[in-house]
Structure 1
Amino acid sequence: MTDIILEIKKLVSECWTNIFAEVCNAVVYIDHCAIECLHWHTAGKGYLALKDAGAVAVYEFGMYHFRYAEVKNTKKAVIISTSGDPAFYQRTIKMILAKNMFQNCIVYCSVPCSTINNMEILPVEEKLDYIKLKKDIKVWMTSGNLSQEPAVNIVYVPIFIALLNKNLFVTPPFGDLMPPLDINISKDTLVKLNLLAYSFYNLFDSIGVKLDIYSIGKLSDLLAENLENYTSSVNHRNHLSETPEIGVSLILIDRTLDLCTPTSNNTESFLAKILRTFPHLPHHDNDVAVNISPVFGTVTEILESCETPGCLASIADTMMDLLISQKEKKLLSTVNQFLNDMTLIKDSPKLRTPTRISGHSLEKVLNKIQSMNSIDSTIADMEKLQCILAIIKASTSQKADQIELLTSLEKLALQNLSVSRESSSILVQLSNIIRTRVHRGLDIENLLALLVYVYALAGTQIRFSTQQERRLEESIAVAIFEDLETLKKNSLTNTKSAYQRNLLLLGTDDVAAQEASCKIAARILDTLRLIAEQRLTLQDYRFCMLTSSSQEVTRHISILEQITKDIFCVNISRELRDLHKKSSSFISAGFNLILRGKTKRHPRDNSFILIYIVGGITAEEAKIIQEVISANNNEKLPRITLAGSRLLKPLDIVDKIFFS
């Protein structure tokens, strides 16, 4: 049976191979989303891969970059972009060419030419036209008084996927997509949605896939409709030619239907703790920067050559699987075994396993090993060591205590809601915690994530009293003003969150700042109420609280878990009422109309299921999919893959929902 993930991997590899073939003796300009896709394709060695292919120099570029240095000793430029904005190309490429005397320019673009784009909401001047762009580039190049006619080529290349492991991928160019909480969908979102639909269409058409499209949520419904517009004609053509196809059920889900899961402090998947502990790699949404200097001891010259941080992309699929599936205790035992294996290879005495394995005990062992090792052996073990460092640092980080406290507050909220229901006092408790947050070592951003969790969990099932909400709003307003006062005293801090950047816009006048703080708090409460209403129209997946029996405590259950269990439970024959099915072809649509819905396909009727969450996925959801795969190791059941706009942690939701 054809493996669609293997086919996708081959297609991605083919795209980059074609690009590598053209970068020899050229200067490469590549945007951030393309860099992130390349980063995962090359296991964290994107820059080296381009240099090894012969690139003279490699530069990142973006809409707001204004400095492009002149590059000598080359007459060729290769530009790799995922932007669909014609103004971006007009400004950026023109600026690059103005500083160089290139005779050859190749633009690799992941946005199709407007001539094959069926998006009608944009005027012609806002669509990317390859023919016009090619003419413009030639004009810009000849303005530099070239002695010969310049060679210009623009190539469509579907760069939009970053494979994290064999069952998980993200789409960096669409990392900022998030379904709106109200009915208003911006033009920019509609344009990106159409581009994502075309990207999926092109991907599945290239590998010979016949799609059954299901969706849940208003933005996912639109994405499914756009995708169906692209696929219907090709499915009809393939049906007539009787070309063998791979059957795939594509299930599209709005992230905003379940904001409990991405704002939960659940770290049963250790990957969640790593994502919360380390900063992102610059301009990356899905990988972290791990400081690897500790493994080199005090050798200054080596430290200087290892300023580039370690990352998760460099680890093998099996290690990523462990980070996703294993809890902390078991993972620390695995790391201990890794360290033992490393000493055995180096003919060192076997390490004594400590009575209690912890991050701190493993840190001591690692330091001991590194003090005995040569630099060569350390570099040889670099990939494994940076993974070990990530695990140790995440388990010993000061943030671990904060996560533990937030987890206990989350459990308190869950049990309070499940027992007290309408009479719940959880908002009163959270109001008090917000006012005393500094003494508890908490910040307002993490507490806002907790509030999103509470409102998303309560849904329309539980209503909070006006008095409790008013008190909560007052507490948030006071906290915002206090945070602004603190920020003024520490304004020299370079790294600022989206929340802090918004605070700085309030100005320095105290009276005006207090009024603005109250308005922000009121807006936050309005947003929380909208969050609670997101599942109002659902029939089967309206609730995210589960009590198995009277003896068991209530637990949070994600929509993804509910859907996957319903799909794989072969004993359940009921219709999945919340999944809206798009007809896979004109012919099947006609038959469905004739049969009046008597014969309906089920997602598990195909060999593969791909679930894509518009707005992003979490480590916990990746763990759920791994568990489903393990529990349903049956050749008759379909293989399932999870994908999403990006990898999420709680503060990503706070930034996007409240401060973007």
Structure 2
Amino acid sequence: MSISIKEFSKAWWTEVYNRIIGATVFLDDYSAECLHWEGGLYNLISNGAVTVKGLSPFETGTGSGKAVFITQATSTQLRIICEIIRRSDITHCTLISCVSLEIVYLEMNEGKDVSDAMLAGKAQAEATSQLENMLKEALKKKQSVVEVVYIPLFAISPTNVVFLTPPCREVYPRFDGKLTPDTPTLDLYALKSDERGLVRRLASGLNSMFDSMNMKEDIFYMGACSSLIAGILENSPVCVSRRKNCSNPVSLILVDRTLDLCGVTGHSSESILDEIMALLPKFPGHTNDVAVDMSSLCEVDLISHPDDVQLSPGCLYHPNDDSCAQTYDHMINKSEKEVMFDLYNKLSKLDVQKSPGPKVLLKVTSQSLEKIISACKGNYDIIGKHLGVLQQALGVVQTLKSPGRAEFQLFMNLERQVQENLAASRDSTSVVNQISHLIKTRKHRNISFENLLALLVHVYSLVGTEVMFNKQHEESLQKSISAAIYEDRASLFNRDFFHMKTREECEVIAKGVMDRLKEISQMRRILHKYNSILKPCETGVGHEYRGVLQQLVEDLVNTDRPEMVDLRHRNEGIKDFLRSGLNILTSKKKTTKHPLDNSTVILFVVGGITAEECKQLHRTVITSGVDNVVLIGSTKYVTPLDAVVDALNIDAHKA
């Protein structure tokens, strides 16, 4: 690679900083999350921004008359921008689109035939002209300056190996609201317009990343949604043009999350980051970081309830602190014990009165960390100098002491029991009946219904097509789900959708949940080699979950290069057929293209990934001894409850 993904992001943020001097800056949540992983609000202020605001119709521009909007340029956001401009005294307006202007042009002209402009390469200029006219109309001033520019604020890099794409966090393998398409052959225009737009935006972001990094990709894919993204990257005129000018070969492997939902609905303590993400609230407006309660460091009286906004939350990621970046990497790749020792050693070096000096401990507990943190209370000089490590330590302590941790560990044990029951009983399994009983007795056992739904998704994805559940058990399960939705409707997933539902409406929702669970069990029917993820343990005792991604990467780095029949190569098309046909008498047998033929491989999971999966996949690559650079990308980190919302399409119900 010519540059890393982290450097790709940094270079484009520098372009933003060059345009914000003396301006009021407006950001949407997606851009704000990207900024958080780049350095945060301080980066904008230190580079000349007068003030920074969220992209809201209730905001107005103030100060110098200069405004910069950093946005995904959706139709809703463009309307908000115009509303802000109309109510503000702005004379110089810059619109930074984080999405390719070709994509913005397609969306602004939805339903119109724009193929000529796209093929002729005029879409960017046309989009720029339309957006400039929109801004000028909103400004309504003769002496005003408008500028429209595309800057791909697309990716964040939690580690040197892992990258995520916050602007594409809603991208999920879904086809008209379903997890599988209705037709065997899938066309982009068979999707709903919002689904089509999300897929295009992800493909466009990947294209811009490859362009900036001088990459020319060979595309491999597994899954229907991944095939669509591969098709856009392979055939879009912009992508075709870019590949002609790029020279660094890279293999891009796209995989649908829905082929294996076990990995994201399971409760695991292999990476403490997964526990933290599951047990602490999300950082406001973000998907990939958490909100850490900082009140224990402050000498103030706070009302302890979720809506208290007197104190800004802390977080885990601190890009300007190398020591914190190292600890964050440990949260993914090291054990909980190693993370605790790392934090204790760093905290012990703080110059805090009453703080214990560095010493050798056989075990570091949450109390060990808390003791040092408490010694810092009110000492704002120390807090200011070591704010990053204190936030990380507090995040770990709050996770280990979380009221939800006991339930988290309970579901870890339930999942192990389910695996063994399924492996032992197969066709005659009563697992569904057992979960139905857990749903009915959940309040007595102090178990949340949301986590039981996650367990159901986990089970149906785990068994795939290998197990047929008893029909009567499934009917009983549906009734249990319906009753639970009705009983918990006021608080379920903290969404308004369920609150006002009648019993009859809850029955309809329960049937939809069961239909979706059965659909989840069918996701791997298109696979041949990776259709089973419940495997005998290598020790010969019991069974274990070995995910699709893990099996894929094991085959990928295997020096014997086993055939990966489920991994399709996008370039295997009519050109290859014609080439082999014309040379059939003289040529040798065509060698199948392998991802490791290129020195860099990017495995991108469409729909989310966990820290544990990143850890396992990276470890598999490292221990294999291959020289290739293997990067792991996804649209977002996911927790079991996030995965349930995506898999059961709960947001769509709300709409």
TM-score, normalising length: structure 2? 0.88
Give yes or no for the alignment of 1:49 onto 2:43: yes
AA in 2 matched with 1:583: N
Partner residue, 2:160: 166
Partner residue, 1:97: 85
Deviation, structure 1 residue 527: 0.6
Give yes or no for the alignment of 1:308 onto 2:312: yes
Residue 132 (structure 2) aligned to one of 131, 134, 139 = 134
Partner residue, 2:390: 385
Deviation, structure 1 residue 351: 5.3
Structure 1 residues 366, 347: CA separation in 2 closer, same or farther (over 3 Å shift)?
closer
AA in 2 matched with 1:314: H
| Contact 1:110 1:158 (8 Å CA) reproduced | yes
AA in 2 matched with 1:53: N
Partner residue, 1:653: 643
| Contact 1:68 1:95 (8 Å CA) reproduced | no
Q: Matches of residues 82-481 of structure 1 in structure 2 within 5 Å?
A: 82-85=72-75, 88-89=77-78, 91-114=79-102, 122-124=110-112, 129-142=127-140, 146=141, 148-180=142-174, 181-183=179-181, 185-230=191-236, 233-234=240-241, 237-238=244-245, 245-296=247-298, 307-314=311-318, 316-342=324-350, 350=357, 356-367=363-374, 369-370=375-376, 374-481=379-486
- Any idea what the Cα deviations from partners look like across 1:148-167, whole Å, max 9, x if unmatched? 52111100111111111111
- Any idea what the Cα deviations from partners look like across 1:595-626, whole Å, max 9, x if unmatched? 68722221111111111111111111111133
Deviation, structure 1 residue 299: 9.2
Structure 1 residues 608, 273: CA separation in 2 closer, same or farther (over 3 Å shift)?
same
Deviation, structure 1 residue 293: 2.5
- Any idea what the Cα deviations from partners look like across 1:10-38, whole Å, max 9, x if unmatched? 33222111211121111111111111111
AA in 2 matched with 1:483: D
AA in 2 matched with 1:313: Y
| Contact 1:296 1:378 (8 Å CA) reproduced | no
In structure 1, stretches of 5+ residues that fail to align are 488-495, 507-512
> What is the total number of aligned residue pairs between the two structures?
614
Deviation, structure 1 residue 135: 1.4
Query: What is the alpha-carbon distance in structure 1 between the residues aligned to residue 154 and residue 273 of structure 2?
Result: 23
Partner residue, 2:516: 527
Give secondary structure in 2 for the equivalent of 1:158.
Answer: coil
Structure 1 residues 115, 579: CA separation in 2 closer, same or farther (over 3 Å shift)?
closer
Give yes or no for the alignment of 1:504 onto 2:504: no
Structure 1 residues 190, 416: CA separation in 2 closer, same or farther (over 3 Å shift)?
same
Deviation, structure 1 residue 100: 1.4
- Any idea what the Cα deviations from partners look like across 1:259-297, whole Å, max 9, x if unmatched? 000000112110000001111111111111111231345
AA in 1 matched with 2:218: D
AA in 2 matched with 1:263: T
Q: Tell me which stretches of 4 or more aligned residues in structure 1 moved more than 6 Å.
A: 115-121, 125-128, 345-348, 584-590
Deviation, structure 1 residue 520: 1.3
Partner residue, 1:19: 16
Partner residue, 1:509: none
Structure 1 residues 426, 584: CA separation in 2 closer, same or farther (over 3 Å shift)?
closer
AA in 1 matched with 2:26: Y
RMSD: 2.8
Structure 1 residues 149, 313: CA separation in 2 closer, same or farther (over 3 Å shift)?
same
| Contact 2:207 2:233 (8 Å CA) reproduced | yes
AA in 2 matched with 1:108: I
Give secondary structure in 1 for the equivalent of 2:157.
Answer: strand
AA in 2 matched with 1:287: D
User: What percent identity do the matched residue pairs reach?
Assistant: 29
Query: What is the alpha-carbon distance in structure 1 between the residues aligned to residue 379 and residue 52 of structure 2?
Result: 32
Partner residue, 2:551: 562
Structure 1 residues 497, 556: CA separation in 2 closer, same or farther (over 3 Å shift)?
same
Give secondary structure in 2 for the equivalent of 1:283.
Answer: coil
Give yes or no for the alignment of 1:614 onto 2:606: yes
Partner residue, 1:68: 59
Give secondary structure in 2 for the equivalent of 1:342.
Answer: coil
Deviation, structure 1 residue 56: 1.6
Query: What is the alpha-carbon distance in structure 2 between the residues aligned to residue 413 and residue 190 of structure 1?
Result: 37
| Contact 2:6 2:160 (8 Å CA) reproduced | no
- Any idea what the Cα deviations from partners look like across 1:353-407, whole Å, max 9, x if unmatched? 566432234323432x326x84312321111111111111111211110101111
- Any idea what the Cα deviations from partners look like across 1:84-118, whole Å, max 9, x if unmatched? 43x541x2122111111211111110223349968
Give secondary structure in 2 for the equivalent of 1:129.
Answer: helix
Structure 1 residues 427, 215: CA separation in 2 closer, same or farther (over 3 Å shift)?
same
Give secondary structure in 1 for the equivalent of 2:418.
Answer: helix
- Any idea what the Cα deviations from partners look like across 1:97-149, whole Å, max 9, x if unmatched? 1111211111110223349968999324999822112112112212xxx4x52
Q: Matches of residues 480-491 of structure 1 in structure 2 within 5 Å?
A: 480-484=485-489, 487=490
Deviation, structure 1 residue 298: 5.6
Q: Which moved more, 1:542-551 or 1:131-140?
A: 542-551
Give secondary structure in 1 for the equivalent of 2:376.
Answer: helix
| Contact 1:332 1:357 (8 Å CA) reproduced | yes
Query: What is the alpha-carbon distance in structure 1 between the residues aligned to residue 108 and residue 558 of structure 2?
Result: 41
Structure 1 residues 593, 318: CA separation in 2 closer, same or farther (over 3 Å shift)?
farther
| Contact 1:119 1:194 (8 Å CA) reproduced | no
Structure 1 residues 366, 282: CA separation in 2 closer, same or farther (over 3 Å shift)?
closer
Query: What is the alpha-carbon distance in structure 2 between the residues aligned to residue 252 and residue 364 of structure 1?
Result: 46
Query: What is the alpha-carbon distance in structure 1 between the residues aligned to residue 239 and residue 576 of structure 2?
Result: 10
| Contact 1:235 1:585 (8 Å CA) reproduced | no
Structure 1 residues 348, 652: CA separation in 2 closer, same or farther (over 3 Å shift)?
closer
Structure 1 residues 612, 58: CA separation in 2 closer, same or farther (over 3 Å shift)?
same
AA in 1 matched with 2:111: P
Structure 1 residues 480, 585: CA separation in 2 closer, same or farther (over 3 Å shift)?
closer
| Contact 1:297 1:370 (8 Å CA) reproduced | no
Query: What is the alpha-carbon distance in structure 2 between the residues aligned to residue 386 and residue 154 of structure 1?
Result: 38
- Any idea what the Cα deviations from partners look like across 1:23-54, whole Å, max 9, x if unmatched? 11111111111111111011xx2x22212222
AA in 2 matched with 1:656: D
AA in 2 matched with 1:248: V
Structure 1 residues 110, 351: CA separation in 2 closer, same or farther (over 3 Å shift)?
closer
Give secondary structure in 2 for the equivalent of 1:59.
Answer: strand
AA in 2 matched with 1:451: L
Give secondary structure in 2 for the equivalent of 1:219.
Answer: helix
| Contact 1:263 1:452 (8 Å CA) reproduced | yes
Residue 627 (structure 1) aligned to one of 613, 619, 623 = 619
Structure 1 residues 592, 52: CA separation in 2 closer, same or farther (over 3 Å shift)?
farther
